[in-house]
Structure 1
């Protein structure tokens, strides 16, 4: 089945095609969401939200990009929206705590992350790297995550982020430079 045929059947709300589509993209979407939120449970919830949005919005897909780019764009946007919402809730909770209106023990913790592909001996190193990636500016973090964790080529990252290829190259270069500085004493290898 070609991509155009797949999209056409999805637009016709064909249930078997949608199940096939979910089977094909589920792990990619889950890994993308996990790459941003670092929490398996939240990544699973976001993955469901991504597929719900695709089901509801596929009618508007115009073949201006590849279907995979469309899927990644939705996954990245859902993940970033989730992160922004968590940060707003945390800031509001901190404000309430300062004002004495709420017990700070009610504040949500920063989510822990567990990736099944990381071996025990690499968890400490990976944890340090993940924490430093989280400190990058949003666009650098998105480009870096899509390239290094998802393995997307620069051109597809440009399409997902809706920026130029040169912008992606620059974002990844700056992310690498920043991470090298921050992690110089932990790692002796290039990223």
Structure 2
């Protein structure tokens, strides 16, 4: 069944049509939430919240944009709301040891095939990049995730965020520059620590 027909049925309350309609969007919505929030459990909850909100308001969808654009806009707004709620709250690093009654244990990294050194280097690089992305402003973090991680086009990002395409391109450029500087600063700090 094509998306247009499924959409019409879903607007009339057909739950099965709604489930078929959103099936292709679930992974991408989860990935957006995961990259924005950084925690799989929270990302799963936010993805669920996205689809609940889509279900509740699908009757109001005016079809002035693509259905996918509408879903991704809802998902990003829910993530941004969550980030605003979390400001000032203490977060626990995944690299932090787990405290037990009789001491502490380090988190273990599962061996996926490559050497332990390669895995550690890749994980450290990923952590540094994710940490740096986390330090960006919300609008810069959003456009970096949508463009460079999720692969959305400039046009799609413009529709999802409600900004002109030129503004999106400008934000992506500034976000990349900020990210580059953050990563450079972190490497310089790390090198200084090794010299001491």
Aligned to 2:182: 182
Q: Taking structure 2 as the reference length, what is the TM-score of the superposition?
A: 0.78
Give yes or no for the alignment of 1:137 onto 2:137.
yes
How is 1:115-134 mapped onto 2 (pairs within 5 angstroms)?
A: 120=119, 121-134=121-134
Q: Which has the larger radius of gyration?
A: 2
How is 1:30-179 mapped onto 2 (pairs within 5 angstroms)?
A: 30-87=30-87, 90=89, 108-110=90-92, 112=94, 120=119, 121-179=121-179
Give yes or no for the alignment of 1:8 onto 2:8.
yes
Stretches of structure 1 that go unaligned for 5 or more consecutive residues are 91-107, 187-191
- Decide whether the 8 Å contact of 2:7 with 2:21 is kept in 1: no
Matches of 1:180 and 1:109 in 2, distance apart? 24
Matches of 1:130 and 1:77 in 2, distance apart? 20
Give aligned pairs, total.
Answer: 166
- Decide whether the 8 Å contact of 1:39 with 1:111 is kept in 2: no
How is 1:21-32 mapped onto 2 (pairs within 5 angstroms)?
A: 21-32=21-32
Q: What's the secondary structure of 1:184's corresponding residue?
A: helix
Matches of 1:156 and 1:42 in 2, distance apart? 25
Matches of 2:3 and 2:64 in 1, distance apart? 12
Q: Taking structure 1 as the reference length, what is the TM-score of the superposition?
A: 0.79
- Decide whether the 8 Å contact of 1:38 with 1:111 is kept in 2: no
- Where relative contact order (Cα < 8 A, 6+ residues apart) is larger, the structure is 1
Stretches of structure 2 that go unaligned for 5 or more consecutive residues are 96-111, 188-196
- Decide whether the 8 Å contact of 1:38 with 1:112 is kept in 2: no
CA RMSD of aligned residues (A): 2.3
Matches of 1:45 and 1:84 in 2, distance apart? 16
